[in-house]
Amino acid sequence: FVQLEKMKPFSLFLICVAGVSVFEVDAEVHADAALLAGQWRIIDDRLDTIGAMIVWEFTATEVIVRDGNTGDEVSRSRYTIDPKKSPKWITVEVDDSPTEHAGDRRLGIFRIQGGQLQLKQEIIDGAERPDQFDEPFIRFQRLSKNQSP
């Protein structure tokens, strides 16, 4: 253990600043995760035409994709966000999906505007993360909000 009274004042300052920076990032991640928390329905005329509904549910660490008509789970993945990036980053790691390989990583960006979640993500494992919201990107409408992410 390091004795604080023997540390130089500048070293103590650096430790305090680093601790505050980590806290600020964690607070920002938590705030954005709270905004994502809940159920979001994909807005797509093609789905509406065939009577299909796809719902993504964000928890604190997972995104669960469900058939919105039956409630059946289609896939489950872990996600992380980096709100310090502009646009904000989201990384999805596939856990359980009948159409994707476990461990695949989906690099994307997201924003919430006017009550809509907008997501642009590469679905090919190893592809580069998009850096802007040019078309096409996925639009979601909030169905419900979880009280805690």
- 108 pLDDT more than 90: yes
- 96 pLDDT more than 70: no
Task: Provide the 3-class DSSP secondary structure of residue 139.
Answer: strand
- The residue type of 37 is A
- 140 pLDDT more than 50: yes
- 67 pLDDT more than 60: yes
- 99 pLDDT more than 90: no
Tell me, what's the pLDDT at 97? 62
pTM, 2 dp: 0.74
Check residues 22 and 64 and name the one with the higher pLDDT.
64
Average pLDDT over residues 53-58: 94
Q: Taking phi first (over 0 means left), then psi (-120 to 50 degrees means alpha), and beta for anything else, what does residue 128 get?
A: beta
Across 21-31, b (16+ Cβ under 10 Å) vs e yields: eeeeeeeebee
